Amino acid sequence: MPKAKRVVWSPAAEQDLLDIWAYYARIASADVADNLLREIDRVGEAIGKNPLLSRDRSELMPRLRSVIVRPHVMFFLLGNDDVKIARVLHSRRHFPAIFAREDQ
């Protein structure tokens, strides 16, 4: 069995998590927000173990991949020894515009 890759969260992804938590704590409850972030973290760890069970998103950025964590999409870059979580965005966001801005 291959060794799990280390999962690294980018500063943008960490800010996404803070924003997600604040939003769900405001519209639902802190418990709902906590549960969603636990699920996002669980999926992050799972892609460290099996990163190829994901979708190729190279149309947005070279080497970019994604997995769904409803209602969000987790975008990551696969390295030799690690998985870098780039962003965690709501599925209704316009991904091409977001990644075009980040590419500049």
Residue-range definition of the domain harbouring residue 81: 6-102
Rounded average pLDDT over 57-76: 95
Q: Check pLDDT > 80 for residue 91.
A: yes
User: Can you say whether the dihedral through the CA atoms of 58, 64, 68, 70 is positive or negative?
Assistant: negative
Q: What's the pLDDT at 103?
A: 60
Number of domain units in the chain = 1
Where residue 54 falls (left for φ over 0; alpha for ψ -120 to 50; beta otherwise) is beta
Answer whether 0.75 is exceeded by the pTM: yes
In a domain, 20, yes or no: yes
What CATH number corresponds to the domain at position 27? Answer: 3.30.2310.20
Q: What is the mean pLDDT of the chain?
A: 93
